[in-house]
Chains A and B, each alone.
Chain A
Amino acid sequence: MGNIFRKAFIKSIPIMCSYLFVSMAYGIMMENAGFKWYYSLLVSLTVYTGAYQFVLVTLLSSGASILTMALTAFLMNSRQSFYALTFVDEFNRMGKRKLYMIHTMTDETYAVNCTLPDTGKEKQSIMFWVAFLSRCYWMIGAVAGGILGQIIPFDMTGIDFCMTALFVIIFIDQWEKAESHIPAIVGIVIAVLCLLVVGQQYFLLPSLLIASAVLVVWNMRRK
C-alpha cells in the first residue's frame, strides 16, 4: 500500500508542479472577477477540467446564456470521451472506484496513465492515487489562489491573460503535431468573421457552431 502510494506520488510530481501553478492562477482570476474562493473550490470539485474552468469565469462574468456554457463545455471537453474510451475496460474492472476514475480523468492523468506498465491490480491502484492526488493539487491551488487574490496588495488587473497564454500554448502544441493546419485556420477565420459580424458579446456560440460544422464537412470529405 505505502509502496503503491509512493509510486503514484512520484508519477504525479509533474502534474503537481503544473496544477498548483495553473489552478492558483485560476483562483486569482476568479477572485479578480468577483468570485470568492469557495466558488473556485465548487467549480474545481464538480467540473474539474482545466481550460474550460477558465472560460467559465469569463462566461459567468459576462452574463453568457446557459446554452452557450453547455455548448462550450461540450465542444471543449468532448476530448474527454476519447480519453475515457482508452480506459473503458480498465475502469470497468475497478469496482467502486470506477465512477471516481471517470470523473477525474484529465489531459494530464490520461498522459500519466498511458505511461504505466500493465501490472493489473497495482496499475489500477496507482491510477487511482494519481487521480486522487492530482485532484487535490488542483483544489488546493484554486483555493490558495482565491485567498492569495484577496490579500495581494497590488492591483491584479490583467491576470486573466494567463488563460490566453494557456490557450496559445495548447494551440502551438496542437499546431506542431497536426498533419493539416486547416482545422486551426478554419477556427481563426470563422471566429474573426463572427466577431466582426455579430460583435463581441454574442460571437462565441455562432463561432463554435459554424467552425465545428465546417470541420465535420471537411473531415467527411478527406480521405
Chain B
Amino acid sequence: MDTKYILIGIAVSAVVTFALRALPFVIFGGKRQMPEMLVKLGKVLPATIMAVLIVYCLKGAVVAPVATGIPSLVGVLVTGGTYKWRHNTLLSILLGTVSYMVVLRII
C-alpha cells in the first residue's frame, strides 16, 4: 500500500476531527449561543449518518448475497437481539462478531 496516501489520509482525518473539536472555541468562545437550527440538526443528524454507515458496512451483501449476506444478517440479528435483551455493549459486539465469523466459515 502507498505509504504517502495512508499518511495523508490519517493527517486529513486528524485535522478535520481536531478542527471540529476546536470549532466552538473559535466561533462561540465569546459566550455566543449556537444557532437553534444547528442545535436541532445536531440532535437528528447522527442517526442518519449511523444508518448510512451501517449500509456501508453491509455493502458486500449486495454483491454476494449468500457468502456475505447470510453471515451479515446473522451477525446483525445476534448483535441487535442481545443488545435489546441485555443492553451490554461489549457482550453484543463479542457475540455478534463471533457469530458472524462462525457463519462465514460454515457457508
Contacts and interface: CB of A to CB of B under 8 A. Distances in A.
Interface string A206-222: 01100110011011100
B52 A187 contact: yes
Nearest to B22: A102
B66 interface: no
B13 A185 contact: no
Interface in B90-104: 90, 92-93, 96-97, 100-101, 104
A81 B56 contact: no
Interface residues of B, number: 65
Interface in A164-223: 164-172, 174-175, 178, 180, 183-188, 190-192, 195-196, 200, 203-204, 207-208, 211-212, 215-216, 218-220
Contacts of A170: 50
A208 B83 contact: no
A42 interface: yes
Nearest to B14: A46
Contacts of B89: 18, 166, 169
A43 interface: yes
Contacts of B8: 66
A75 interface: yes
Interface in A35-87: 35, 39, 42-43, 46-49, 51-52, 55-56, 58-61, 63, 66, 69-70, 73-85
B103 to A, nearest CB: 9
B96 to A, nearest CB: 4
Interface of B: 1, 5-6, 8-14, 16-18, 20-25, 28-29, 31, 34, 37, 39-42, 44-60, 62-63, 71-72, 75-76, 79-80, 83-84, 89-90, 92-93, 96-97, 100-101, 104-105
